[in-house]
Chain A
Amino acid sequence: MKRKLKHRTAHGASIILVALFALGLIILVFVAFQFAMVMGGSREVRNAVDAAALNIAKRSIEIQVPAVAGFRDVANTQGNVGLSNLSRTWGKAFLINANVQDMQNTGQITDAATANGNLAYEAAQTTNDAICNGLKNKGGLDNYFNDMAMNKNATLLGGSSIVTSQSDQAAQNKDFATAMVDRGDESNLSFSAAQLPKGVTLTGVKRGNNEYIQGYVPFMTNGKEFCVPTFHLNEQPHLISDDYFTKNRSDLAGLPGNPIPNAFKESGLASGTNNSLIASACAVANPQRQYTLAIPYSFVAISFSNQALWYVNGKKVAQTSYANEPQQYFQVKHYQPLPNGGFLDGSANLGNEYKAANLWMLYNALQGDHQTPLLKVVQRVQEIDPTFTMQRLEGLMQSQALKAGTNTPPVRYLIYPTYSTPDCTSPKIQIADSSSGNIPSWLARAAMGEGMGMAVSTEDSEKDIPNTCLEQITGGKNPSGKHWTILSGIIGFQPGTGYGQCLGELHIHRATNVYFTDEPEN
């Protein structure tokens, strides 16, 4: 029997097609939606990690250690040293060692100076290492990361999607991935070539009106290596590329002396309902503070001493000191025997050089080269304030009245800074005699330079000016004989390193030779 074939109708064919097409469209939309969610989530994770890494760079300045003894003057208000002001500590240690180097160059070195140079360097290195450990401590820095990341959830990933820090697989021993970027650019420590002792040099980078020590470029003095971090002027903490970071990683491209890093890298992980995403970011720190190379708590001294040498007929009969004010001294009494018989009484009016109106005039009371010694003073004061000049020194000395009435020379005048800011920046250079009540409490008045003193200049001799003498011969042929005074001076400089605060002392030693004879006067 021939079976009758059923004729399939086209009824509903379009419906099926429409249903399939609609289903495909819905799937397509769903996939597109999921893709958009993942992309959005990825963007959220990246943003969160960027902000969190930036937070590390920003808050890295909070990692601080207490300043070691002798370096409180280069610490912050709390007495701490961190990433922002470590260069000041290195700068002070450098200047101390530059002064030691200067003493070596001039043959004025002593064991005490060498020891203090070593102590200063060790102190700076100890501080550096402690900060460096803090800046590489993953636990500490991750707190800064997570503190920011927790505010920026990757909500598009679904679930809680909190972004948290990840261990850096490239770093070993739980060290944070750090780098020293922008090598050779400016640090945040400016200096002036004039403030360095003769024979000590430093390479800098000029930015605006200032010259800054190069960051991450080791520099040497006194056989020791110094290094400060780079911090660009007028720049804020910001993100940097992963490539640039990797090229400058502390562990892959390190520098001698364990310099502190200035850039940080961290990865963050966000786990969503269905997806987990990891992103990493690198950021460079910048404390936005500039400092000047200086030894803030230090001073330079200028001292005067007076001596009288008494001679009778060419023979020295006494050696005394005299006060820093005009006084009559009756030192030769009944001197005998005299060739012509009788005895001699001699007196002198000494200290007349102190009739000067001020310190500047006293310093220049005799003729001679007074400029060369003052150049050493200016250089040393520039280690406190690089803007200090010879003109300002002259002005200070002119403003300083003489301390009169003391019988215990030498008289010492101190040139020292005062600060209105708690971190000892912006010094105002002052002068006072060492017993003045104006001298700040931090200043160790009795501190002396560690180096050996050396004559820098000699003053021309003056006969019978300004000191004079008188003699009287009793029982001889003449009631009086030839008599005269010779006033002369030697200006010496005893250098200091600054470790014990004293950067040096200019010593003006004046001697009045008092001559008596029984030769008849013309």
Chain B
Amino acid sequence: MRPMPKRKQKGVSLIEAVIGLVVIIPIGLAALDMYAFMVAAQQNEELSETAARVAATKGSQSTAEAAISEILDRVQTSAIVKSVVADQVKYDPVVGKVTVTFSMTVHLPVPFPNYENLNCQATSIEPIVSQPAPL
């Protein structure tokens, strides 16, 4: 009987390393994307909260919008945060609350196909504190 030819060991580790990297690298990149998105989402929430608090100190819808516009003007976009816009500024003196919704477009550092940009929304509600006591 003819003995089985002995398989060469050369390259096995390389193949295993490649396979390992194929598994690990996507996980790492996905984690990076997730981290970037979460940081951006947190920034968006803080921004909308700040904007709502500022708007709550204003006396009308127009002044609230102007204040929020100023805040948005100061927002510095980056490779990750592409844009921030105010979807909604609702200054309701009857209810006594101001509602601010911000949308942030986040460009993922390692974009997936068809998922280069993600949109995150944050809504903040604050009591309007600018209204003096009624006469």
Contacts and interface: CB of A to CB of B under 8 A. Distances in A.
Interface of A: 10-15, 17-19, 21-22, 25-26, 29, 32-33, 36, 40, 43-44, 47, 51, 54-55, 57-59, 61, 76-77, 82-85, 148, 151-152, 236-238, 287-289, 421-423
Contacts of B78: none
A147 B40 CA distance: 29
Given A18-B24, A26-B27, A236-B57, A61 B129 contact: no
B126 to A, nearest CB: 5
Contacts of B134: 76-77
B96 interface: yes
Nearest to A287: B133
B15 to A, nearest CB: 9
A238 B128 CA distance: 11
Interface in B77-135: 96-97, 124-135
B63 interface: no
Interface residues of B, number: 35
A40 B38 CA distance: 9
28 contacts: A10-B9, A10-B12, A11-B12, A13-B16, A14-B13, A14-B16, A14-B19, A15-B16, A15-B20, A22-B27, A26-B27, A33-B34, A43-B46, A44-B45, A54-B127, A55-B127, A58-B128, A58-B129, A59-B127, A76-B133, A77-B134, A77-B135, A82-B133, A148-B97, A236-B129, A287-B132, A289-B132, A289-B133
B69 interface: no
A29 B97 contact: no
B28 to A, nearest CB: 7
A21 B22 CA distance: 13
Contacts of B31: 25, 29, 32
Nearest to A150: B125
A216 B20 CA distance: 72
B135 A76 contact: yes
A59 B96 contact: yes
A460 B20 CA distance: 118
Contact of B125 (A26, A51, A61): A51
A51 B34 CA distance: 29
A18 B19 contact: yes
B17 interface: yes
Contact of B28 (A25, A51, A61): A25
A422 B130 CA distance: 22
A85 B133 contact: yes
